[in-house]
Amino acid sequence: MEKPEEMSSTKMFGGFNRRYKNFSPTLGCSMTFSIYFPPSPPSQKIPVLYWLSGLTCTDENFIAKSGAQRAASVEEVALVAPDTSPRGLNIEGEDDSWDFGVGAGFYLNATELKWKNWRMYDYVVKELPKLLTENFELLDTSKASIFGHSMGGHGALTIFLKNQDKYKASSAFSPIVNPINCPWGQKAFSNYLGGNKSDWEVYDATCLIAKYNKFSTPILIDQGEGDKFLKDQLLPHRFEEACKSVEAPLVLRIHPGYDHSYFFIATFIDDHIRHHVRALKSA
């Protein structure tokens, strides 16, 4: 992998937001990612908290809108935000709709030939941590945790459940927890993975929890009751029921009046940062 090129650097709460680009061998295109480095002694390695964004987002949305840097600077944890899909491959149909293709990688490895470059699961789980380890000495990728929003919440949950050796905890805002049973997931999975629905279940948190339920730090989910996608797309209570059936630890908080936006995320982001830092410190 080529060395990342720094594109921008902005000071915030004593640390720095830095944005990078490099060519991704996994995805076959140039990718961008953002890191918030908190203020810390030069000799101190910093734990890593990965953020996965939702449909239509890039690596910049979370960094610009969440306000997570305030708590990250106090807790001395780095925030790493990758992009949400490959870009610039000019695949026919990749830009035809906002909820599929570019900006909608769904953090899976596509098996359909047309979408063979859509391997965001491998990019997040394998390539990105290796890239960080090899190029950023301050980051301790052996102490990592993962969270996200909407499609990114889906990614954070499924990636955590299948890789508990790599991540200390997981949390999510308004996650798509049962994609095999909602329109967003059905559209993405049928195109990326084909028509065999048993292949879809390996990327569905509600299905996975029965197999991967051995973790001590509860999964934290915050959901706005005023979210217009709650009833048809997000389905948090299905995940709650699945967790109860196998006694998997879950904290599901429903907040009256809040919607699907970054205004909601910014309101409760400090809780999530502290949730992950507790898990990282107890590891």
**Residue 203 per-residue DSSP state:** G
The number of angstroms, rounded, from the C-alpha of 243 to the middle of its chain's C-alpha atoms is 20
User: 75 with 23: CB under 8 angstroms?
Assistant: no
Helices (H) and strands (E) in the chain, counts: 9, 9
Residues designated as active site: 150, 227, 260
**Residue 209 per-residue DSSP state:** T
Q: Residues with Cβ < 8 Å from 201, sequence gap 6 or more?
A: 180, 207, 208
Q: Are strands 250-255 and 219-224 parallel, antiparallel or unpaired?
A: parallel
- Rounded CA-CA distance 169/277 in Å is 9
* Residue 116 φ/ψ, nearest 5 degrees: -60, -25
User: 159 with 124: CB under 8 angstroms?
Assistant: yes
Name the residue among 103, 116, 112, 101 with its Cα closest to residue 188: 101
DSSP labels, 250-261:
EEEEEETT--SS
**Residue 119 per-residue DSSP state:** B
- Within 10 angstroms of residue 153's Cβ, the number of other Cβ atoms is 29
**Residue 76 per-residue DSSP state:** T
